[in-house]
Amino acid sequence: VRKQQQGIYSIDEDEKLTPSLEIILPRDLADGFVNNKRESYKFKFQKIFDQGANQETIFENIAKPVA
């Protein structure tokens, strides 16, 4: 399991589960306003690429298998 916490988001790449991205919006960022929204939004993906991933890596993993 690899979980990276980067400020207000975290990436969870568990080999047994689908990789997911969780965005955390703390209620205290409302700056004096009432904030009744959720604090956490979680999205699942087939693969999550690092910020340093180049176009070739993304093509090899996403587009090439379709062709």
Weakly modelled stretches of the chain, pLDDT under 70: 1-7, 13-16, 27-35, 67
Taking the domains of the chain in order of start, what are their residue ranges? 3-63
pTM over the 0.85 mark:
no
How would you classify the pairing of strands 20-24 and 40-44?
Answer: antiparallel
Q: What is the pLDDT of residue 54?
A: 94
The amino acid at 5: Q
Tell me, rounded to whole angstroms, the distance of Cα 14 from its chain centroid.
13
Question: What's the pLDDT at 16?
Answer: 64
